[in-house]
Structure 1
C-alpha cells in the first residue's frame, strides 16, 4: 500500500516538473527570467525526490531498511545540495518579482540574460560548496556500532546524533555557515516582498493588488510550503518522542512539496496554462 502511494507521488512529481521544464523550453513566451528560474527549480525538485524516494521504494519492496555507508554519505550530499538550491532559487525568483513590480521600466535592463545565468550558476556553486563542506566534516566522524537512522533518508542532523565522535565542529559550522546560507536567502525573500507590498500600498487599487497577487501568488505559495515544511522538520519537532512526526514532516518536505510545485504554478499561472493548452493542441494536431 505505502509503496504504491509513494510510487504515485514520485511519478507525479517527476512528470509534473518535467512537463513544466518542457513547456518552458518549447514556448517562446516563457523565455523570460522568471520561467528560466522556475525551470531550474523544477529540476531541483525532481532531483530532491529522486535521491530519497527510489531508495525508499526499494527498501519497502525488499522489506529491509538498510543502506550502505557510501550510499548514505552520497544521499546526504545531494540532499543538502538540492535542498540548498531550492532555497537560493526561491530567493532569486523573489528578487525577479521585486524588480518586475518595483522597477518595471528597468526590468529588461536589470534582469538581462547574463545576470540570470550568473544568479543560477552562483546558486549552484555555493550550494555545491555548502554540501561538500558538511560532507567532508561528516566523514571525519566515527560511528561505533550498527545504528538505526530515525528517518527514511540520511539526514545530516540525524547522522550527527548517531556519531560517537566529538561533533562540536560540525555543529559550529551548521550554526554559522549553514545558518548564514539559510537566513540570507530567506531575508532576501522577506525584503523583496516588503518592498513589493510598500510599492503597491503607495497607490492601492483593486486592479493593482489583483495584478500583484496574480504575479506573486504562485511564488508566495511555494515559499510558504517550502519554509513551512522545513520548520516542521528542523525547528518545531521535539527531540525524542517525535520520530513519527519527523518522518511525516520529512515526507511532506521531500515528496509532497516537490510534487505540488508544478500544480501551484500551472493552476495559478495564466502563461503556463496557455502554454499547456498550446502543447496539448499541437500533440492532438500532429496525431
Structure 2
C-alpha cells in the first residue's frame, strides 16, 4: 500500500495547485496545503475524502476525528465542520482527493448489490481505511485527469467504479444511508434541509420535529445520533459559520454579521462566536482591513 500511496501523492502534487483544485472530472477535487493551518469552516455535502499525504483533524459538534494518509472521511449528510491540517510542510504538503457523491449512482448501485437491506449505522459520517481495490481505482481516476480527451467517455465509468468500491468497503455503511428509503432516515434528511433553508429564523426543535412528522424527543435523539450534534447546535453552527464567512470575505462589522445570520443579541453572538472559533469576530473583521 505504501507504493500506491506514494504514486497517488506524486500525482496529486503534480496536478494540484495550492488550495483546492477542480479537475476535468466534475466530481473530483484535489486539495494541497503546504503548512499546518486551520481551514475555513464549511458545510460538507455528501463526500468522500481520501488523504494521500499528511494528516487532518475534523471537528463535528463534540466529535474530533483525526485521520491520515490511507484513510477516508465519508459524510452522507450535510455536516458543518471545522478542519485543521495537522501534518504538512513545503517539502511534504498535505494532499487529498475529494469525491462529491452523486446520490443517484449510490441508489442505483445499492439496488443491485446483495445485502443492501442490512442494518445501517445511526451516524452519517465515518473515518475508514482505504482498501487496495479502492486505491487502484483512484490511481486510474488521476491518470484520466491528465487525458482530458478521454474524460467524457471514461469519467462516468470510473466514477461508478469508485462509488462501487466505496460501497463494498467499510465506507459503504455510511454511504448506503443516501440510498435508503427508510422513513426514519429520510425524515432526518428533510429536517437538515429545513434547518439549512431557514437558519436565519428563530429555531424551535418542536416546530422542526412536527414538520417532519416526529415527536420532539425522538427527533432530538435521532438527529444527534446521525449528525453528532443536537438540532440546536446544528442550527447555531450554521449561523456562526456563515457569520465567519462574511467577516473573512467581505467588509462587514461584527454586529452587522450577527444580524445578517439571525442573531437578535450581539453580545450573545460574540460569546458563541468566541466559544466556537477561539477568537473574536472583531479580530476576524479587522484581519480583512
TM-score by length of 2: 0.27
Point out the structure with the larger strand share. Answer: 2
**Between structures 1 and 2, the one with greater helix share:** 1
Give the structure-1-normalised TM-score: 0.27
Structure with the larger RCO, 1 or 2 (CA within 8 Å, 6+ apart):
1
